[in-house]
Amino acid sequence: MVGPPGTGKTLLARAVAGEAGVPFFSISGSEFIEMFVGVGAARVRDLFEKARQAAPAIIFIDELDALGRARGAFVAGGGHDECEQTLNQLLAKLDGFDPTQGVVLLAATNRPEILDPALLRAGRFDRQILVDRPDKIGRAQILGVHIKKIHLDPGISIEEVAELTTGFNGADLANLVNEAALLATRRNADSVTAEDFSRAIERIVAGLEKKNRLLNPREKEIVAHHEMGHALVALSLPGTDKVHKVSIIPRGIGSLGYTIQRPTEDRYLMTREEFANKVGVLLGGRAAERLVFDKLSTGAADDLAKATDIARSMATRYGMEDALGNVAYETDRAPLLGTIEWQTYLERQFSEETAREIDEAVKATNTTRRPTIVSMRAT
């Protein structure tokens, strides 16, 4: 089972064992590795022997990437013979598996791209099941399980809460219900309301309030106009996510204010125009500071980083710049999990001239939305 963290891979394996009603042997991949040579291989042999004696049984190896990392992939940083010896013993046991003995082997990882190819060949872990983040229906069903532990207000709609939690995994949803229950308890309420869920989402997305971080009046004014710039641009541009809340209360590590936008539906494709509008929303706060105060502050640092990330992806990964052609200059090394690792100078497969054109395309994308913001000032 492969998928992002928190999607329920380990929980699914336990559910399989519970439904099957057979002994369940669970171990983490890191528990095989020790500093003493031969201990890991011996533990593999012992685990398989115990499973055979208790057959029918299920063996579950969590965090398989700790044990099954590709051999020889990191020789430059120093090898580890014990890790390879343990992996070789596991491969040998998988080859010697007799399907008539009634032992089923399950494993879970959130880093399938670093596994040894020998583990994934036919006859070993030849079936890969993607346990991805749930869709709207799945989120509503997961919330329905967790809300049984709390007293819910009759007027609340689980479907509406599920709409506001796009991108949440199973662990996030369990945490959401817990946070909402804590907020209701702090105000001595008899039941958890929709407002509690809204505040809980706010705490999870934006972080905890920093009540000891006091802003002076001038900083409050700048932050207020900055966040209002985000909100006004988001409301004026088509195809942007709905503005959920605007606040100038400091939260998280470095945030002095925030504008929360929550999508109300699951999206799997985005057009160039939608990307450009998203960049426009990110730069709306900086534009508002320039228009109102004729000065720029450091408050847009995170917005600039996100906008640059989007603009670079448009140019290098999605082929959305006509001048660069239909070419992918950077590729995603872990497509299953959606993580992005930018290429280093030595891994780059394009010329300095192309690199300059990419930089120019990124700059152009981050400046095309300014006329829209300026026109808003007149309205």
**Boundaries of every domain in the chain:** 9-120, 136-206, 217-378
Q: What is the per-residue DSSP string for 332-379?
A: -SBTTTTB-----TTT--S-HHHHHHHHHHHHHHTTTTHHHHHHHHH-
Q: Which of 63, 202, 227, 289 is catalytic?
A: 227
Right CATH for 136-206 from 3.30.450.40, 1.10.8.60, 3.30.830.10, 1.10.10.10: 1.10.8.60
Task: Give pTM, 2 decimals.
Answer: 0.76
Is residue 167 within 8 A of residue 268, CB to CB? The reply is no
pLDDT string in tens for the chain (379-residue length): 999 888 989 889 888 888 888 888 888 877 776 655 567 778 888 888 888 888 888 889 888 888 887 776 544 444 456 677 778 788 887 776 555 577 888 999 988 888 888 888 887 888 889 999 999 999 999 999 999 989 998 888 899 899 888 889 999 999 999 999 999 999 999 999 989 998 898 888 887 877 777 788 898 899 999 999 999 999 998 878 888 888 888 887 667 888 888 787 777 888 889 899 999 999 999 999 999 999 888 888 889 999 999 999 998 988 888 888 888 888 765 444 444 444 554 467 788 888 888 888 888 887 765 544 444 443 3
Q: What is the dihedral of CA 204, 208, 214, 217, to 10 degrees?
A: 20
Right CATH for 217-378 from 1.10.520.20, 1.20.58.760, 3.40.50.10470, 3.40.50.720: 1.20.58.760
Domain covering 9-120, topology: Rossmann fold (3.40.50)
Q: How far apart are CA 145 and CA 8, in angstroms?
A: 14
Rounded to the nearest 5°, which phi and psi values hold at 262? -120, 120
Distance of alpha carbon 353 from the chain centroid:
34
- Record the tokens describing residue 9, joined without a space: 């891979």
Rounded to the nearest 5°, which phi and psi values hold at 347? -90, -5
- Which helix (H) or strand (E) is 103 found in, with range? strand 103-107
- Which helix (H) or strand (E) is 61 found in, with range? strand 57-62
Residue pointed to by tokens 């160039």? 272
Is 179 tagged catalytic? no
